[in-house]
Structure 1
């Protein structure tokens, strides 16, 4: 994951493994910095991303609702988030095309609020 903005970014990801859905976060990306979120060969074709701009506000979001929380987390399952004491957030889908590795770039649109990829 690469942050091409001038802001600090928090990133959460969601994906499906052999046991079902899992969401993980938060990775903190420095301005114009990159971070490896998952090591090794990708295990799924589709990954889901939710990111927050800590400095200017705004977020990268999508239609796939998954569980998150304010602190570092690993959450199994995407159902009943609120009833289980978690928050809900929209994640955007990334189709890796079954590649072995993939890099996502979070970018600004016009230097104002973050844009969805």
Structure 2
């Protein structure tokens, strides 16, 4: 009887070990993440071209030193758009691509006529994921000014050449709203 218990325990432990080793080799799911490398709480909104057209969603809150997943799964698009605001200090990570937002949690389809539809018109900056399936951005402060660092780039992505405001570019939203 004692040998049966030992054998059963050994088989149970071996089975658990095999299960854990299989779990360890399962690839991590790809996603778009934003990490807050500032001293303050930040709120983040995301924009991208979905199946139904342009879409913006928010808000994700990221405490200092924490990361938030904004889009889960393999990234289907090369370009995503982000707007983030420092909830304490008031600085913002913004750009020249205008999308609709609101103060409360939102999912908004379309980027046209934001004000007429009762939304705010907010400038997002472009994220070029370089067709990778997984991307993490770090929102940082550089001498008190917001800056963005992408994975393995080690460069400030707030360079104006990186922001999209080309009316001839058909990959960006139609920004015909007036303030």
Normalised by the size of structure 1, how large is the TM-score?
Answer: 0.95
- What residue is the counterpart of 1:109 in the other structure? 142
Aligned twin of 2:51: 18
Deviation >3 Å, runs of 4+ = none
- The residue aligned with 2:35 is 2
Deviation string for 1:3-40 (max 9, x for gaps)? 10011000001000121100000000000110111111
CA radius of gyration, larger in: 2
- Counterpart of 2:72? 39
Structure richer in helix, relative to its length: 2
Structure 2 residue corresponding to 1:61, chosen from 90, 94, 97: 94
Q: Is the 8 A contact 1:50 1:91 kept in 2?
A: yes
Give the number of equivalent residue pairs. Answer: 116
Report the Cα offset of residue 66 of structure 1. 0.5
Say if 1:58 and 1:113, in contact at 8 Å, map to a contact too.
Answer: yes
Q: CA deviation at 1:114?
A: 2.4
* Alpha-carbon distance in structure 2 between the residues aligned to 1:70 and 1:86: 9
Give the distance between the partners of 2:113 and 2:42, measured in 1 at CA. 27
Q: Distance in 2 between matches of 1:24 and 1:87?
A: 13
Residue segments in structure 1 that go unaligned for 5+ positions in a row: none
Computed over aligned residues only, the root mean square deviation of the Cα atoms, in angstroms, reads: 1.0
SS where residue 45 of structure 2 aligns? Answer: strand
Structure 1 counterpart of 2:117, from 84, 92, 99: 84
More relative contact order, 1 or 2 (CA 8 Å, 6+ apart): 1
- What do the CA deviations read for 1:66-113 (whole angstroms, capped 9, x no partner)? 000000000000000000000011000000011111011100011x24
Please give the TM-score of this superposition, normalised by the length of structure 2: 0.63
